[in-house]
Chains A and B, each alone.
Chain A
């Protein structure tokens, strides 16, 4: 990001924690209220930017992170702050999320506990110390003699509430922060304030309910889909014929059929606006049908994808990435090994596929400011990108955030899809414009999770101890944060992923080792990641092609699937039970803990694979079991899947999914369980159904028939085992991993059931039948 905060003026809160209600809450339907809000930024150095304490001891919490359904901002964040400040959970009556003029820190909405959670914990800890200082002076009691319970400070026989304490007071406090607000990572709170010992936790560890759920289930929530501004027009964009087509001749708008519609053309960006949504849709369809685009064929097509990746992609320009745990001489050790395995694995492109297509309202105002109302995982980064696109100072851009469909990483770099198009159309017609992508556009013009090829080589000794592990992972770049509307309109964007990434971004083609090595008893390890450019991007006259973005367990799924499946294959060849084989490779108590817990909870049969009853033909279902393990964001995971395969039909069904998780400190067991269940089912969906299809020109997955996902019919018995280890002292992440673990466990279970190994996903009937006949 080259745009900078050129003339940042901070909201004047004077350092006091008591500020008016005017900054809080949102009322987008009232233009004067929006105008009264600042068009600038909050100063993250001020405690009042993070927390607002009212006279009645209730509080507002502000975070630049946006909750996408993990419930973290509405449960875990409140718990973390309430715990550090010694206030009841219920005292935090409001959470302001994401709005760029109303929250302090920015950054992506992912790794909620690791990043945003740590920021809030430290900001709260600094504030707590400042409150104690204030109380000591006010009460005339030494700070060390003060105690706090439920937001009431006591000492020397005297008491005062936080609300009374901060009323009209200045806090002598600067919260130290570092970073760039509109970068991928936002601001980070630094330093080491004294923090509450984890043994004293009373609020963290409790199963609080999500305070947003009642409004979501009773239709009282203001969703992104509900934003309506005065004078707003409905917009639709006519996207090009292919991912590389340029505009030859735009169609005339049929004004007799669509009398109130307007056509807007800017470069290759073709848009239609109208007062009603139905007229905008009709007009866009009419224009799309008659507009001429150039032809383009620059993609390999998905049937040829993995051959193309192996033989034609450029893996040489990008520097290879080495695993942090690489050690010894894996090549020599493997050639000396008693037995060894050399295999190769393939994963397809997958779509994030939010259940609602991207939608945004752009409001280019007469005063030169630009308001964007959206649902986005990185509002500050979006703000920077929009400012860059429009050539305006960042201060002129405000992004407001609402609830919406889960994005699973697609917008964590600031680009959900419709925002830039909405503001460009608004700028053209000088009215607010709501751009809603239709279902096909949301699958065909969004970014995707990149495909991968991995070559794995494992050697082991007579005792079943792995002596050498080598992995070569190949994957195109996975973090394209360019705005597609800006590309079409030929306006400035951040760079496409290149071999060397600009500072503060993740946008390089380097394929880092994302899956931490967990089998530390293995003496020789050589993991290498090879990266390349996005497929078709450089060849596309639009610079578009197949754009990629991190998804849920980015890169780690692509590396964990081959690793864990290969280790299960090695265990089978060694004639050793797959859990026992893993236990032999590690002394790590936390890894061993989740593996033994999942073994005990799942009804695992301790025996080598394949099953003694394995069969690769016939119409009778055969059953099998598979295991996988992972370390992600400080959390240890292990999962067991039990599956049934009907060889004659090629139908794979997951009967039971059991998962054990050790995140260290468990913040909210109920919400953790629900999030894990969701991730588990997304993983089943990946394993059984998901593959983005494309031809030489376009993505051909365009609806839920051509990109099927899991349905209720496929839901297995799910068992979640949570293993709290508060002595670890950190909150490990809990919303990512369950999906990635499922895919290798299911593939291993398929092998156990049939004796045949499927080394790519998804396990659809035709592929399964070809594997079983091989």
Chain B
């Protein structure tokens, strides 16, 4: 079986798996990454979201063969991604601003969906560092489906994305 090679959280890896295996199972079972979660297996909830070349994708239905040669970022890779984008040493960044904001605002209830919520927030803020409230709401309605939270943490998520935007602005101010 030929291997499938892609970049995962900054490192190049080759995996041995049937090409139709959904990326999620490869990430969780072969690469032992625990950020993306199995929520539906149908691209209907967003718990499994990852960034593929910077775009939010549902790993539960995305065949691993489709990410060959691409750059995949999971929740684990968000701090490193932020470091790389801002010329910082990877070791100096423990948390992406989105993750810090999620702690500061105490967003999670059960937290099972928050992987996808943070991936979506990171995608949004890379494109739009200072989004309006309607832009934030809209972001979580985009992709293969709306991002679902059963505990109802949506209000906390809205506050946290605004908080992350403020953290990003503050960090950029510090760098200048």
Contact = CB atoms under 8 A, between A and B. Distances in A.
Given A355-B148, A678-B151, A213 B108 contact: yes
Nearest to A682: B152
Contacts of A677: 152-153, 155-156
A680 interface: yes
B41 A438 contact: yes
B96 to A, nearest CB: 9
A712 B154 contact: yes
Contacts of A679: 152
Interface string B9-26: 000000001101110010
A225 interface: yes
B152 A217 contact: no
Interface centre among A675, A678, A703 (most CB of B within 10 A): A678
Interface in B84-114: 94-95, 99, 102-103, 106-114
Contact of B110 (A68, A436, A705, A709): A68
Nearest to B77: A219
Interface in B116-166: 118, 137, 140-141, 145-158
Contact of A678 (B29, B74, B153): B153
Contacts of A718: 155
Given A209-B103, A213-B108, A214-B103, A704 B145 contact: yes
A223 B154 contact: no
Contacts of A217: 75, 95, 99, 102-103, 107-108, 111, 114, 118
A69 B37 contact: no
Contacts of B106: 71, 209-210, 213, 670-671, 674
A356 B152 contact: no
B152 A69 contact: no
Interface centre among A353, A439, A703, A712 (most CB of B within 10 A): A712
Contacts of B156: 674, 677-678
A207 to B, nearest CB: 9
Contacts of A674: 106-107, 109, 153, 156
A364 B37 CA distance: 26
B40 interface: yes
Interface residues of A, number: 57
Contacts of A221: 34, 111
Contact of A404 (B35, B45, B110, B146): B110
Given A225-B38, A712-B141, A713-B146, A216 B152 contact: no
B8 interface: no
B28 interface: yes
A254 to B, nearest CB: 15
Contact of A712 (B47, B140, B150): B140
B42 A223 contact: no
Contact of B74 (A219, A228, A357, A705): A219
Contacts of A68: 110
Contacts of A225: 28, 34, 37-38
B29 A355 contact: no
Contact of A704 (B45, B75, B155): B45
B71 interface: no
Contacts of A357: 38-40
A520 B47 CA distance: 47
A69 to B, nearest CB: 3
A681 interface: yes
A319 interface: no
Interface in B32-55: 33-35, 37-42, 44-45, 47
A404 B113 CA distance: 10
B115 interface: yes
Interface string A250-288: 000000000000000000000000001110000000000
A386 B45 CA distance: 32
A226 B37 CA distance: 9
A405 B150 contact: yes
Given A216-B111, A217-B102, A713-B137, A277 B25 contact: yes
Nearest to B40: A439
A356 B33 CA distance: 17
A634 to B, nearest CB: 22
Interface in A644-681: 670-671, 674-675, 677-681
Interface in A664-717: 670-671, 674-675, 677-682, 684-685, 703-705, 709-713, 715
A449 interface: no
A218 interface: yes
A403 B109 CA distance: 11
24 contacts: A69-B151, A70-B109, A71-B109, A213-B108, A217-B118, A218-B95, A219-B75, A223-B37, A225-B34, A228-B29, A355-B110, A355-B112, A355-B148, A404-B112, A405-B110, A436-B38, A670-B106, A674-B106, A675-B109, A685-B152, A704-B42, A704-B148, A710-B154, A712-B140
Interface of A: 68-71, 209-210, 213-214, 216-219, 221-223, 225-226, 228, 276-278, 353-357, 359, 403-406, 408, 436, 438-439, 670-671, 674-675, 677-682, 684-685, 703-705, 709-713, 715, 718
Given A71-B109, A228-B29, A356-B112, 10 more contacts: A213-B108, A219-B74, A219-B75, A225-B34, A355-B151, A405-B110, A405-B113, A438-B41, A675-B109, A712-B141
Closest CB pairs A-B (n = 10): A681-B152, A69-B109, A69-B110, A406-B110, A678-B152, A219-B35, A405-B112, A712-B140, A711-B146, A216-B111
